[in-house]
Structure 1
Amino acid sequence: MDLITPAQRDKLFDSFERDAFHLELRDDYGSPIEDTPYARWQRGEPDDYAWLTPWVTLMKRVTGEGKTVRRVRVVSEPHSQYVGWEHSLTRLNIEAGEDIRWLPRHQLPVGISFPVKGRDWWLYDDRLLAVGHFDSEGRVLGSELIDDHDTVAECVRLRDHLWKVATPHCEYKP
């Protein structure tokens, strides 16, 4: 299986036409770019969020072109420290044009099953998946591109179902 890098995955935002959707299923992620800001937050120190500038710039550009970028974050409650930190930063994603909803794991609809072995994924224009692969510590190994019609259709159905039951960020109180 070939994996693309996070930078290559981000290039997909240059070619999608309407909608990008991210399903997040992990309570902890490991990313070298986040290590220092996350450690600062854990110590109660301020952050200038400069490390987020490339993502914020990208999101402002694509949403400024009339495209949508959405996420559903399925999380355990009580939250892990990482999800608490992520929640505190979400306002920056929202300000950049993303639409983010939260779904506590214990509120998942009965009978839900997650395609692609329960991994996180980005879905672009209901036609292409970038499925995340992580090591045992949550560090991103890369993304697997999948355009199989049946797999994509299963993810579209799940996205639509979870989007309806998830709570918009402005209403979600951890």
Structure 2
Amino acid sequence: MATVLSVSGSPSATSRTARLLRLLDERLRAQGHEVIPLDVRTLPAEALLHADFAHPAIVEATQLFERAEGVVIGTPVYKAAYSGALKALLDLLPQYALAGKTVLPLATGGTTAHVLAIDYALRPVLNSMGPAHITPGWFTLDKDITAGDDGTLTVAPASAEALAQVTDQFSLALGGRPALLAAAG
């Protein structure tokens, strides 16, 4: 199956976005994909803010993008746009870092007023990086994502179903087997 890079653009260590991505990572692994998580917040801020293309962490992140056949990009929405941390990383990648790749854009936010952030803020930037295909994305309200004290994540049923659908479409575009997973459930 495919190698998938799962990128969380959240600057927060307790991010709902990152937790949601890790949940979707498990679904993709169950469908046979190798998934590599990347939390932008773990990259050195100095390297990101000073555009240090040669910093070993930035070189490594760039290599992860090169290696991946599919990329999941998840971000919280701030002021109707994707996170600045994600923007800083995307700016350091080569112009066509997504060339030939399948991309799944996801976003989380506090209000439905930000639901179009994927299509009007994130998708144009991703598209400019030359992907073969950007699958339909999904915006999840913060209130639909609950983290338990034990670290378990609960997603409201309607959102969970929509996320499963977009993840399965992404997997199918990569040559995955979502139908087998559904039949086994």
Give the TM-score, by structure 2 length.
Answer: 0.34
Higher RCO, 1 vs 2 (CA within 8 Å, ≥6 residues apart)? 1
Give the TM-score, by structure 1 length.
Answer: 0.36
